[in-house]
Structure 1
Amino acid sequence: MKRILKKFISYYGPYKTLFYADMFCALMLSGIDLVFPLFVRFLQNDVYLMNDKAKIIKYIIYIGIILIAMYIIKYFCQYFITSWGHIMGAKMETDMRKDIFDHLQKLSFSYYDNTNTGRLMSRIVTDLFDISELAHHGPEDLFISMLKIVGSFIILMTINTKITIGLFIITILMLYFSLVYNKKMKKVFKENREKIADVNAQIQDSLSGIRIVKSFANEHIESKKFEKGNNEFLRSKEKNYFLMGQFYSGNGFFQGLLNLFVVLGGGIFISIGQLNISDLLVYILYINIYLNPIDKLVNFTEQYQRGITGFERFLEIIETVPDIEDSKDAVAIKNVRGNISLKNVSFSYNEEHNVLDNINIDIPAGKTIALVGPSGGGKTTLCSLIPRFYEITDGKIELDGIDIRDIKLKALRNSIGIVQQDVYLFAGNIRDNIAYGKPDATYEEVIEAAKLANIHDFIMELEDGYETYVGERGVKLSGGQKQRISIARVFLKNPPILILDEATSALDNESEKFIQNSLEELSKNRTTIVIAHRLSTIRRADEILVLTDEGVVERGNHDELIEQDGTYAYLYNMQFDNVG
């Protein structure tokens, strides 16, 4: 817990001035609240007992002016705490959200393979809001409460020691009660967060797949799945509120005991002449000042548990060490030629089974290599290892003679252009989606890339042209149109190495012909790796590798592999027969 608090406190660092100003205002508020009953006591015990009316009025005017000045100061302090104090919390929340988002960008594909996006969204949004509230109200409430409790306790001791000692004993019992329930609430609050994360995950999953849901008319199944998670969250919240009910009612009971003790104790001491009525009135005023911060501490306890459990979940992500990152001596290579060499490369998603086992491939710069074979043979996986989306289990991959683990990730990935089978477009316009391949590209460069990808004419037919909104994941475009936009990105990036993972799979025959010609033009003097199930598209490849779960079983150009009459010839003839 000490480590967690230390990390939490570190986020106050950039806002020390705001924090100290907030604490100063809290000090002023506490001081003003503590001083007011003293003025009342002074008026009752000293001023009102004077025989000189002129003096009484004079003192009343002086005290009135002082109190007005104090409440003007209190107004500005309260304004600062409420506005700038919250702004400080919001700034810290923003910093945390930036840190967690930046860290998520560093995590490899392996992390996302095992993590639900909806749960991550819950941590980025819901958890951080509670952390923000704790960041602002926590120190302030704690500071004000402690000042008021200690200050009022000292003043109460000066009025009547015996009653105050009794109050102190009841307060200790109250704090013990709060600590016991504090532990119980922490567990329940953590469960709340896990359950709402499950609900968010279910919503994200169902809405992302809404077209599949509707195509199978399975809305009722999704509703049942959601209802299950929603009800589990409800049960978790019920436990939470039962505990809160016990917690608040228990604290209310102890506060009632405090008031009862003051009234009865005060009556007894007045009856035996050890306390006068005016002092009892002041004592009761201070009891309210004494109880108010205890209320704040009770609320702080709940707020602290909500915030700190959220921060623990925040740290779970922040402290996840990326399994792929730059080595200490990594270099930023320039003028990449594109020689790629895989030496005894093995890879496994888990320790039980290797997807790739002892693969050896040399790809000379500027050559086009095609990977073919049955599904599950590891073609896409192999291409994912070159940009280090996953880390190889064994062996070595070299780019221009340098181990890719010794190359800075940004430099490595900037050297590689990828067109994937599963096209992803960002919610925005067409121009921005194409320019994602080169964020500083000019409008003319974007248009040229679109022409090369055979999508320019289509874009110009749209009402808003390149400013046309594509919808979430590009839902407003056809599969072929999305594919051509993704190809335009790579044209714009203009990298020395190309990886084409079924790059023309979503295109109609006419578009495929244009795109295939464009890709062949782009591939000239570039190292190109093509994954293709349509074997007719790779006939001109310099070398074709047949990859199965047994590794590279055949290699050669199209004519050589047809003559071998092996796996490639079987796959090719099967497609040719199907076409025929």
Structure 2
Amino acid sequence: MGGPVGRSRVSGGDARAQREANRQAPKVADLGRRIAELFRPYRLQLSVIIVLVLVSAGLGILPPLITQRVFDDGLFPVGAEDAATGPNLTVLAWLVGAMILVFVVSAGLGIVQTYFTARVGNRVMGDLRVKLFAHLQSMELGFFTRTKTGVIQSRLQNDVGGVANVLTNTVSNVIGNTVTVIAAAVAMVLLSWQLTLIAVVLMPVLVFAQRRVGQVRARIAGKTQESLSEMSAITQEALSVSGVLLAKTYSRQQAETERYAGENRNQIALQVRQTMSGQVFFALVQVFLSAVPAIVYLVSGWLLAQATGQGYDAGITAGTIVAFTTVQSRLLFPLMALMRVALDLQTSSALFARIFEYLDLEPAIVDEPGAAEPSDEPGRAGAVSFEDVTFRYPDASADDSPTLDAVSFAVAPGEFVAFVGASGSGKTTIGSLIPRLYDASSGTVRYGGDDVRTLQQQSLMDRIGVVTQEPYLFHATIAENLRYAKPDATQEEIEAAAGLANIHDTIVSFADGYETIVGERGYRLSGGEKQRVAIARVLLKNPRVLVLDEATSALDTVNERIVQRALDGAREGRTTIAIAHRLSTIEGADRIYVVSAGRIVEQGSHAELLELGGSYAELYAQQA
């Protein structure tokens, strides 16, 4: 057995080292390709949008061309020898009818296009948000101990929300405006190549200015999202029930408000900078859009004057000038829209980078290829053992002493063992390694005789139940909190678990019984009631191994005794590993391990350890 385990341990360590290296330098390159991949599941809907956009863009060029015919063939027919000829009303009526029909069809297509665009864009954004949430759920516990909850929430809400406009409008804007620009450019050349040169001569300057502005806005956008993350973190910390209680008891409300106000001022300044950073550029574009038609009129007059003076046809009519300026607006406004899209993409690149940075994080704890189901064989199921386990937390310095140092022990199925010791001795870490919330730095943790790294994480966790010192309850009913362990549990199963946890009678005494709302983190319940609800939840899960992490240390004597009776019932037929501070709760353990500075220094029954007269006897005397 030693050989294969040793090879697994080395390969597992190499894999974890590689994953850690990947996490230090997340890949966020080629954002365009990765953003495009988000739309892959919606290829059919995108095809419909593209067709609608192409048709709409093509229709958008028709009105200016029809306008030319309205002037030259309807209002002022070319070739009329005198004013008495007058407008050709028949041609004029057909042309006006065609123009109105184009407007009606374009409006209808615009409605359909908007619906499909909004639907696809919001679904892509929803997929991205769920993908990010699911990926964060897969991260190891250590990631969340290193990262502020508010920062994580900001990535899900602010960052994903910040790219909403890009996801919902970019595809239709880029395709529609590109087609419109090409069609408008072709129409302008056909109308007058001389006037076309005047209209586009300054375009390269605008493109260069747009790129520079986009780079500045991208930097500001990154700082803005960092500020929003900090504000979310402050909100989550200060406005949680625990945070408010702490601020009130230490009279720190004003300080917390000032901390939030300071970051809020920073956020306001960044928002103003982001808004103003593009205003000079867009003002320049606006001047250009306003000036070019006037210049076209001037150049047209000059060309006509030259043609009249030299006796040749300039090829420019009133209809040509009106149509050209109309088409020109169809060119310049889409160009401006494309520049806005480019600016949005540059600005959003910082947000996409932050999102993909989290998506590129690789969990430090993953199932190895071919991971097996934990054993349920009698005599193996529920067995737990450590073999020379050493552990350092991921963020610990290499110079720090290990939290656990060559720890070895074995617990047979159905046994009740306890770990005691001073705070910081490493006993809680032992409880965290059993369900593989962390991986051992070296050595082997086993369940049912198998290295936990060779087992499926979800299946392993299904067989282990944990009751912590501070149980977490959702702001929901008691029944909903219990069903978290078993969503399909019947009311009878819920009440049976509550009865074993010695909480059923208390629940039914409430006015709403099992439908009682427990409040944020269960604050409407007493400490003992919360703990017993947590025990009932674990019993509903029905695990093979029960880990009790100082489950009664925060309770008064009366509640401790009530909860202890519930725990006594919960241990029946299960392997129980208790991490204890109060020694009175584990006197009946089959075996007690005394942990000091990450090592097991004593072991034996309560009576044996008292007789030994060592660390345990000293701890017991102090508590007695």
TM-score by length of 1: 0.95
Question: Do the aligned residues in 2 keep the contact of 1:491 with 1:522 (CA within 8 Å)?
Answer: yes
C-alpha distance in 2, partners of 1:447/1:60? 83
Identity of aligned residues (%): 29
Alignment counterpart, residue 45 of structure 2, candidates 9, 18, 22? 18
Name the stretch that deviates more: 336-345 or 556-565. Answer: 336-345
Secondary structure in 1 aligned to 2:405? strand
Question: Do the aligned residues in 2 keep the contact of 1:92 with 1:132 (CA within 8 Å)?
Answer: no
Secondary structure in 2 aligned to 1:545? strand
C-alpha distance in 2, partners of 1:43/1:68? 13
Report the CA distance shift for 1:102/1:153 in structure 2 as closer, same or farther (over 3 A).
Answer: same
* Amino acid in the other structure paired with 1:151: A
Q: Aligned residue for 1:573?
A: 621
Report the CA distance shift for 1:564/1:423 in structure 2 as closer, same or farther (over 3 A).
Answer: same
- Does 1:45 pair with 2:86? no
* Amino acid in the other structure paired with 1:29: S
- Does 1:189 pair with 2:221? yes
- What do the CA deviations read for 1:193-242 (whole angstroms, capped 9, x no partner)? 11111111111111121111111111111012112211222222232233
C-alpha distance in 2, partners of 1:133/1:379? 50
C-alpha distance in 1, partners of 2:542/2:181? 68
C-alpha distance in 2, partners of 1:3/1:41? 46
- Does 1:363 pair with 2:411? yes
C-alpha distance in 2, partners of 1:437/1:471? 19
Q: Aligned residue for 2:384?
A: 340
* Amino acid in the other structure paired with 2:436: R
Question: Do the aligned residues in 1 keep the contact of 2:470 with 2:551 (CA within 8 Å)?
Answer: no
- Does 1:207 pair with 2:239? yes
- Does 1:156 pair with 2:156? no
Q: Aligned residue for 2:420?
A: 372
User: What number of residue pairs does the alignment pair up?
Assistant: 576
TM-score by length of 2: 0.89
Alignment counterpart, residue 514 of structure 2, candidates 462, 466, 477? 466
C-alpha distance in 1, partners of 2:29/2:91? 52
Q: Aligned residue for 1:262?
A: 296
Question: Do the aligned residues in 2 keep the contact of 1:326 with 1:405 (CA within 8 Å)?
Answer: yes
Alignment counterpart, residue 143 of structure 1, candidates 171, 175, 178? 175
Alignment counterpart, residue 31 of structure 1, candidates 25, 35, 58? 58
Q: Aligned residue for 1:243?
A: 277
Q: Aligned residue for 1:384?
A: 432
Q: Aligned residue for 1:525?
A: 573
Name the stretch that deviates more: 506-515 or 377-386. Answer: 506-515
* Amino acid in the other structure paired with 2:36: I
C-alpha distance in 2, partners of 1:206/1:563? 50
* Amino acid in the other structure paired with 1:95: D
Please state how far the C-alpha of 1:257 moved relative to its aligned partner: 4.4
C-alpha distance in 2, partners of 1:326/1:505? 34
Q: Aligned residue for 1:484?
A: 532
* Amino acid in the other structure paired with 1:234: I
Secondary structure in 2 aligned to 1:333? coil
Q: Aligned residue for 1:303?
A: 344
- Does 1:67 pair with 2:94? no
Alignment counterpart, residue 167 of structure 1, candidates 199, 213, 227? 199
Please state how far the C-alpha of 1:260 moved relative to its aligned partner: 4.2
Name the stretch that deviates more: 313-322 or 244-253. Answer: 244-253
Question: Do the aligned residues in 2 keep the contact of 1:454 with 1:511 (CA within 8 Å)?
Answer: no
Q: Aligned residue for 1:232?
A: 266
Give RMSD over aligned pairs.
1.9
Q: Aligned residue for 2:156?
A: 124
- What do the CA deviations read for 1:443-499 (whole angstroms, capped 9, x no partner)? 111111111111111111211111111112112212211111101111111111000
C-alpha distance in 2, partners of 1:534/1:498? 18
- What do the CA deviations read for 1:477-530 (whole angstroms, capped 9, x no partner)? 122111111011111111110000112234443443343233223323321100
Q: Aligned residue for 1:56?
A: 88
* Amino acid in the other structure paired with 1:373: G
Please state how far the C-alpha of 1:379 moved relative to its aligned partner: 0.9
Question: Do the aligned residues in 2 keep the contact of 1:502 with 1:532 (CA within 8 Å)?
Answer: yes
C-alpha distance in 2, partners of 1:265/1:174? 22
Please state how far the C-alpha of 1:304 moved relative to its aligned partner: 1.8
Name the stretch that deviates more: 507-516 or 398-407. Answer: 507-516
Question: Do the aligned residues in 2 keep the contact of 1:270 with 1:277 (CA within 8 Å)?
Answer: no
The equivalences for 1:263-302 within 5 A come to 263-273=297-307, 274=314, 275-302=316-343
* Amino acid in the other structure paired with 2:583: L
C-alpha distance in 2, partners of 1:270/1:562? 114
- Does 1:552 pair with 2:596? no
Name the stretch that deviates more: 509-518 or 53-62. Answer: 53-62
Question: Do the aligned residues in 1 keep the contact of 2:60 with 2:106 (CA within 8 Å)?
Answer: no
* Amino acid in the other structure paired with 2:142: S
Gaps of 5+ in 1: none
Question: Do the aligned residues in 2 keep the contact of 1:429 with 1:467 (CA within 8 Å)?
Answer: yes
C-alpha distance in 2, partners of 1:348/1:445? 41
Secondary structure in 1 aligned to 2:202? helix
Question: Do the aligned residues in 2 keep the contact of 1:487 with 1:503 (CA within 8 Å)?
Answer: no
